C-alpha cells in the first residue's frame, strides 16, 4: 500500500548588460520590428490619482532594450539542529538584440550554504522499499540563455550555459505516460531549429540535482553526461495539424562515473540510445478530419501514433556493484484518437530490468498494455482506464488496474464527481473518492472524501478546500481535513490543514503566505510542516525590501489513491531531509533602460505590467492551486519564446516588466519529476495590462 501512496530556487538575475550597436552586429542583417506609437495614458476623469510607489519613469536612453535587478540576502538557517548563516546574491537581467536573439541571465550565488543530510526512499514495483542515505552541500545556481538567434535559411539557435537541463528532441516528451527526462547538469546545451521541421541538439556537463528549501541551490556530485540528438519531418503536410505528417528522432546519451548515493562500488558508466517515429492523420476508420480542440489526435476522425525504442548498456566501474544487468531494452507505442463518441488513448510497453537514461532509472521490469476513454459534454463527463501488466523477469506478479471517473454539473454553482480504482496482483488495493463542488457568495468550496484499502492497511480522509471571495488585490484559500489510517497493529489519526493567500499592506507592502501541514492526534507523533511567509515592501526608485521566513519538517501525507503498475514504476525516490528553519532579509534594486525603457516583448514607449505565477503539483487533478498543494522548483519558464526565468523553491516565477498586450507563456517540462506532467497546453496566451499584474499558473498533474 505504501508503494502507491504517492509522495509529492530561483531564477535570479544579472548585473546589467551594456547596450550597444556597432558594425559587428550588422552582419546578420536587421530583424524587422513593429512600429508602435508612444503610449499615452487616457484620462478617465479629472480626479487626481496617486502614482504607484514603484512606478518611476525611467529617463529616456538609447541602445538595445535591457533591464536588470540585484538582490542581496542574509539567511539564518537551522537544519537538523545545526545553525548556519549564509549570504546570497540574486542577479537577473535581459538584453534584447536585433540580430542575436534575446539574452537572459539568472544567478543565485550562495555563500556558506548549509550541509543537508537525510535519506531517500527508494523502491519500485514488486521490490521492497529501502532507505538510502544522502548528504550534500547546497551550491549556487546560475544560467545564461540565448534564444531565437536568427540564422540563414529560416533557422534559429538556442544556447544555454550554467545550471540547466540537458536538451532533448521534442518527440522525447511523447504523447503517453513515459518520456525521457531532461537531466539536470552544470554545463552547456545548444540547439538549432527550423521551426516545425528540423531540430538538432547537443549537451554536456556535470550531473547534479536542484536542491534547497529556503533558497535554491545546485549540487554536482553524480558524474558527467553528454548527449546529442536530432529530429526532422520526413513526410506529410506542414505544421502541427499537417495530415499524414511523419517525424523521426534520435537521441544519444553517455553518462560516466554516476554515483547517486556516494557509496563506494555503485558508480556506473551508461550509454543509452533512444529512437522514435510519429505519424498523424485521418484514422483508417474515418473519412475526414472533423472538429475538435488541440492536435490531430484530439479532433474527430484524427489519429496520432508514436513508437519509441530505447537501449541502455554499461559495465559497472567496480565488481562489487549491485547492478543486475549490463544492458537493457525498452519499447513503447502510444496512440491517441477521437471518435464522435469519445476521446481515446492506448499504449503497449515492455521495459527490461535495469533500464537507465543517464543517471535516471526509467520504468523497468514491466510489460503490458493500457487503454483510456473519455466521454464529455458541457454538463457531464465519464472516463475509464484499464491496464494489464506483468513482470519481465518473473520476480513480480501480474497486475490488473482499472478506474472509473464521473462528474456531473447540476448548474453553475454545484457539481459532484467520483473516482473508483482497483488493482490486483502486486500491491493489490482499492480506493474511492467522492467530491462535491459548490460556489456561493463566500467563494468556491470543494468537499472531498477519500477511502483506500490495501494489504493490512486502510485509510479514510475527509476534508474541504475553500477559495474565499475577497477583493481583486487579494487571494485566500484554506484547506482542512482529517485522516485515519490503520494496519494490523496501529491506528493513527491526523489533522491536515493549509492556508494560501496574498494581500497588499500599507505603504506599498505585500504579504504572500503559503503554509500547509499535518498534526498527529492522540498517540500519533507524526507531524509535517511546510511554511513560506514573504513580505515585500516597495520603497520606490527601483528599491524594495524583502523578508522571508521558511520552516519545513516531516514527510507530507498525500491523498490516498491507487495507481497502476506503470505509474508506480515511474515514481522517483523521495528525499527525507531533516527539519529546516530559516529567516531571510533581502534588499533588491531593479532598473531597465534602452529605447525609452522598452519593456519585455514590446516596442519603444508602450506601457508595461508584471507577469507572474506558480508551477504547482495539482494533487487532486482539478486544475486549481489550493492551500495543500506545493510548488515545483527549478522549472524553466519562457516568455514569447525568447525570455527565460526559473521557478524558485516555492514554484514561483516572475517577469517584472512586460509590454501591455497579449503574450505567450510556456514551461519547459524537462525538469518535471516522473510521472508528473503539464496538464494543460504547453503554450498559453496571457493579457498584460498597464501597471497591472497578470497571473498564469501551471498545474502539474500525476497520471493515475
What is residue 572's predicted lDDT score, i.e. its pLDDT? 67
What is residue 394's predicted lDDT score, i.e. its pLDDT? 83
State the Cα–Cα distance between residues 551 and 124, nearest whole angstrom.
Answer: 30
pLDDT single digits (tens) 483-510: 998 887 788 899 999 999 999 998 889 8
DSSP state at residue 294: S
What is residue 596's predicted lDDT score, i.e. its pLDDT? 39
Q: Which residues lie below 8 Å from residue 337, measured CB to CB, with a gap of 6+? A: 283, 297, 302, 303, 304, 343, 344, 345
pLDDT single digits (tens) 409-437: 999 899 999 999 999 987 889 999 999 99
What is residue 568's predicted lDDT score, i.e. its pLDDT? 81
pLDDT at 623 over 80: no
Annotate 74-133 with DSSP letters as a single string.
EEEEEETTEEEEEEEEEEEEEEE-SSS-EEEEEEEEEESPPEEEEEEEE--TTS--EEEE
CB 688 within 8 A of CB 52: no
Dihedral sign, Cα of residue 321, residue 7, residue 403, residue 671? negative
User: Where do we find the cell 522514435?
Assistant: 276
Three cell numbers, residue 587: 534588499
pLDDT single digits (tens) 204-236: 999 887 766 555 667 777 789 999 999 999 999
State the Cα–Cα distance between residues 153 and 173, nearest whole angstrom.
Answer: 27
Lowest mean pLDDT among 112-126, 154-168, 188-202, 690-704: 112-126
Three cell numbers, residue 311: 537501449
**Best-predicted range by mean pLDDT among 138-147, 407-416, 483-492, 569-578?**
407-416
DSSP state at residue 568: H
DSSP state at residue 236: S
pLDDT at 9 over 90: no
What is residue 51's predicted lDDT score, i.e. its pLDDT? 43
Dihedral sign, Cα of residue 233, residue 239, residue 245, residue 247? positive
pLDDT single digits (tens) 499-538: 999 999 988 898 999 999 999 888 777 888 888 898 988 8
Three cell numbers, residue 465: 478546500
State the Cα–Cα distance between residues 37 and 435, nearest whole angstrom.
Answer: 52
Give ∠ CA 277-283-284 in degrees, rounded to 5: 110
Q: State mean pLDDT over 567-589.
A: 73
Q: Among 3.40.50, 3.30.420, 2.40.170, 2.60.40, what is the CATH number of 53-82+98-116+138-217+240-256+273-702?
A: 2.40.170
DSSP state at residue 471: -
**pLDDT, the chain, mean:** 79
- Return the higher-pLDDT residue of 155 and 40: 155
pLDDT at 617 over 70: yes
pLDDT band at 592 (very low <50, low <70, confident <90, very high): low
DSSP strands (E only) in 139-265: 141-150, 156-165, 184-194, 198-211, 217-235, 245-258
pLDDT at 555 over 80: no
User: Where do we find the cell 551550491?
Assistant: 139
What is residue 495's predicted lDDT score, i.e. its pLDDT? 94
State the Cα–Cα distance between residues 161 and 180, nearest whole angstrom.
Answer: 21
Q: Which residues lie below 8 Å from residue 388, measured CB to CB, with a gap of 6+? A: 368, 369, 370, 398, 399, 400
What is residue 370's predicted lDDT score, i.e. its pLDDT? 96
pLDDT band at 279 (very low <50, low <70, confident <90, very high): very high
Q: Which residues lie below 8 Å from residue 125, measured CB to CB, with a gap of 6+? A: 3, 365, 366, 396, 399, 426, 427, 565, 568, 569
**Best-predicted range by mean pLDDT among 140-149, 227-236, 238-247, 683-692?**
227-236
User: Where do we find the cell 523502491?
Assistant: 123
State the Cα–Cα distance between residues 682 and 458, nearest whole angstrom.
Answer: 38
Residue 86 C-alpha from the chain's centroid: 27
Q: State mean pLDDT over 265-275.
A: 84
Which is nearest to 570 in space by CA: 422, 349, 280? 349
Q: State mean pLDDT over 35-50.
A: 44
What is residue 204's predicted lDDT score, i.e. its pLDDT? 96
pLDDT at 242 over 60: yes
Pairing of strands 608-617, 698-702: parallel
State the Cα–Cα distance between residues 465 and 445, nearest whole angstrom.
Answer: 6
Could you tell me if residue 650 is left (phi over 0), alpha (psi between -120 and 50 degrees) or otherwise beta?
alpha
Q: State mean pLDDT over 382-400.
A: 91
Lowest mean pLDDT among 4-13, 153-162, 310-319: 4-13
Amino acid at each position: 500500500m505504501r508503494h502507491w501512496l504517492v509522495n509529492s530556487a530561483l531564477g535570479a538575475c544579472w548585473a546589467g548588460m551594456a547596450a550597444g550597436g556597432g558594425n559587428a552586429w550588422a552582419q546578420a542583417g536587421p530583424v524587422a520590428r513593429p512600429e508602435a506609437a508612444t503610449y499615452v495614458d487616457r484620462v478617465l476623469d479629472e480626479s487626481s490619482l496617486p502614482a504607484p510607489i514603484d512606478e518611476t519613469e525611467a529617463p529616456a536612453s538609447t541602445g538595445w532594450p535591457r533591464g536588470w535587478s540585484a538582490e542581496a540576502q542574509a539567511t539564518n538557517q537551522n537544519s537538523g539542529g545545526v545553525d548556519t548563516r549564509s549570504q546570497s546574491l540574486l542577479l537577473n537581467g535581459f538584453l534584447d538584440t536585433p540580430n542575436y536573439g534575446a539574452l537572459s541571465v539568472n544567478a543565485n550565488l550562495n555563500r556558506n550554504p548549509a550541509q543537508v543530510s537525510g535519506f531517500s526512499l527508494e523502491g519500485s514495483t514488486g521490490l521492497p522499499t529501502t532507505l538510502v542515505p544522502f548528504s550534500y552541500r547546497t551550491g549556487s545556481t546560475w544560467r545564461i540563455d540565448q534564444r531565437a538567434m536568427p540564422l540563414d535559411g529560416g533557422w534559429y539557435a538556442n544556447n544555454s550555459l550554467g545550471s540547466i537541463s540537458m536538451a532533448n528532441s521534442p518527440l522525447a516528451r511523447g504523447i503517453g505516460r513515459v518520456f525521457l527526462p531532461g537531466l539536470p547538469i552544470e554545463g552547456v546545451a545548444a540547439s538549432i531549429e527550423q521551426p516545425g521541421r528540423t531540430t538538432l541538439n547537443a549537451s554536456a556537463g556535470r550531473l547534479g540535482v536542484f536542491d534547497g528549501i529556503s533558497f535554491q541551490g545546485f549540487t554536482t556530485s553524480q558524474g558527467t553526461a553528454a548527449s546529442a540528438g536530432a529530429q526532422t519531418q520526413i513526410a506529410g503536410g506542414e505544421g502541427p495539424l499537417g495530415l499524414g505528417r511523419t517525424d523521426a528522432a534520435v537521441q544519444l546519451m553517455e553518462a560516466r562515473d554516476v554515483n547517486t548515493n556516494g557509496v563506494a562500488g555503485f558508480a556506473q558508466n551508461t550509454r543509452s540510445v533512444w529512437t522514435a517515429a510519429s505519424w498523424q492523420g485521418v484514422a483508417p476508420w474515418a473519412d475526414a478530419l472533423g472538429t475538435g480542440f488541440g492536435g490531430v489526435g484530439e479532433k474527430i476522425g484524427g489519429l496520432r501514433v508514436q513508437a519509441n525504442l530505447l537501449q541502455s548498456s554499461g559495465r559497472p566501474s567496480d565488481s562489487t556493484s549491485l547492478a543486475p544487468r549490463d544492458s537493457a531494452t525498452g519499447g513503447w507505442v502510444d496512440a491517441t484518437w477521437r471518435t464522435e463518441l469519445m476521446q481515446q488513448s492506448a499504449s503497449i510497453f515492455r521495459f527490461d530490468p535495469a533500464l537507465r537514461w543517464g543517471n535516471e532509472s526509467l520504468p523497468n521490469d514491466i510489460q503490458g498494455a493500457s487503454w483510456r476513454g473519455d466521454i464529455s459534454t458541457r454538463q457531464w463527463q465519464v472516463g475509464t482506464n484499464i491496464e494489464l501488466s506483468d513482470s519481465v523477469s518473473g520476480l513480480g506478479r501480474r497486475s490488473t488496474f482499472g478506474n472509473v471517473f464521473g462528474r456531473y454539473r447540476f448548474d453553475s454553482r454545484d457539481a459532484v464527481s467520483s473516482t473508483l480504482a482497483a488493482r490486483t496482483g502486486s500491491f493489490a488495493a482499492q480506493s474511492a473518492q467522492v467530491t462535491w463542488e459548490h460556489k456561493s457568495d463566500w467563494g468556491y468550496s470543494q468537499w472531498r472524501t477519500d477511502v483506500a484499502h490495501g494489504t493490512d492497511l486502510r485509510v479514510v480522509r475527509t476534508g474541504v478546500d475553500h477559495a474565499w471571495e475577497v477583493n481583486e488585490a487579494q487571494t485566500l484559500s484554506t484547506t482542512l481535513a482529517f485522516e485515519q489510517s490503520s494496519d494490523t497493529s496501529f491506528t493513527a489519526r491526523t489533522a491536515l490543514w493549509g492556508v494560501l493567500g496574498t494581500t497588499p499592506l500599507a505603504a506599498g507592502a505585500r504579504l504572500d503566505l503559503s503554509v500547509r501541514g499535518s498534526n498527529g492526534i492522540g498517540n500519533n507523533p507524526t507531524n509535517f510542516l511546510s511554511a513560506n511567509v514573504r513580505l515585500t515592501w516597495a520603497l520606490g526608485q527601483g528599491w524594495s525590501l524583502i523578508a522571508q521566513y521558511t520552516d519545513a519538517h516531516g514527510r507530507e501525507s498525500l491523498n490516498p489513491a491507487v495507481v497502476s503498475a506503470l505509474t508506480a514504476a515511474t515514481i522517483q525516490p523521495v528525499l527525507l531531509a531533516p527539519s529546516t528553519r530559516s529567516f531571510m532579509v533581502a534588499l533588491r534594486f531593479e532598473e531597465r533602460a534602452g529605447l525609452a525603457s522598452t519593456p519585455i516583448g514590446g516596442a519603444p514607449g508602450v506601457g508595461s505590467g508584471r507577469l507572474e505565477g506558480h508551477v504547482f503539483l495539482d494533487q487532486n487533478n482539478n486544475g486549481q492551486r489550493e492551500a495543500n498543494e506545493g510548488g515545483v522548483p527549478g522549472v524553466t519558464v519562457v516568455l514569447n519564446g525568447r525570455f527565460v526565468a526559473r521557478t524558485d523553491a516555492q514554484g514561483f516565477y516572475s517577469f517584472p516588466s512586460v509590454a501591455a498586450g497579449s503574450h505567450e507563456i510556456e514551461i519547459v517540462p524537462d525538469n518535471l519529476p516522473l510521472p508528473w506532467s503539464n496538464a494543460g497546453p504547453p503554450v498559453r496566451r496571457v493579457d498584460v495590462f498597464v501597471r497591472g499584474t497578470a497571473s498564469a499558473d501551471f498545474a502539474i498533474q500525476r497520471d493515475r
